Amino acid sequence: MIGVLALLQRVRQAQVLIEARVVADIGVGLVCLVCAEQGDSEQQADRLLDKILKLRIFADEAGKMNRSVQNLDGHGSAGSLLIVSQFTLAADTTGGNRPSFTNAAPPHEGRRLYEHLVQRARQAHSNIQTGEFGANMQLHLINDGPVTIPLRIVP
């Protein structure tokens, strides 16, 4: 199935390391693992970002999931976004025990859509950190809840 994919994790803190070097570090917010599939578009990436920014998965004063990452405290205080490319979200495991990644966008197209998403995120939100496209990264996080939300934006 074609569709920009994301897996969101609500976190208290998170870091991305590459070769033991911290390249991204956030406090309260969302880790966004994202993957483009073959045929995905910038419009789908834009819709994904809109959903990520507006998704109400943070607690309000009554403890209900009523706040978005853009408005964590009800007074406009924004949380952080850590956006990490992860083509393995496109894994197809229906044909056996070894996943196939043929649904993932080719690397050049995946990079283009990832960079588009990051650029738009930086225009729309104040605290954006990223991993490095195509790098072998280690992600350290303290999940909050845990709250983990899968998203797929289809044409």
By annotation, the residues acting in catalysis are: 86-88
Question: Whole-angstrom Cα distance, residue 22 to residue 139?
Answer: 10
Distances (CA, A) of 99 to 10, 29, 90: 27, 30, 9
Task: Supply the Cα-derived Rg of the chain in whole angstroms.
Answer: 15
* Residue 86 C-alpha from the chain's centroid: 9
Q: Which residue has the tokens 């025990």?
A: 97
SS3 110: helix
Do residues 2 and 40 make contact, with C-beta atoms less than 8 angstroms apart? Answer: yes
SS3 38: coil
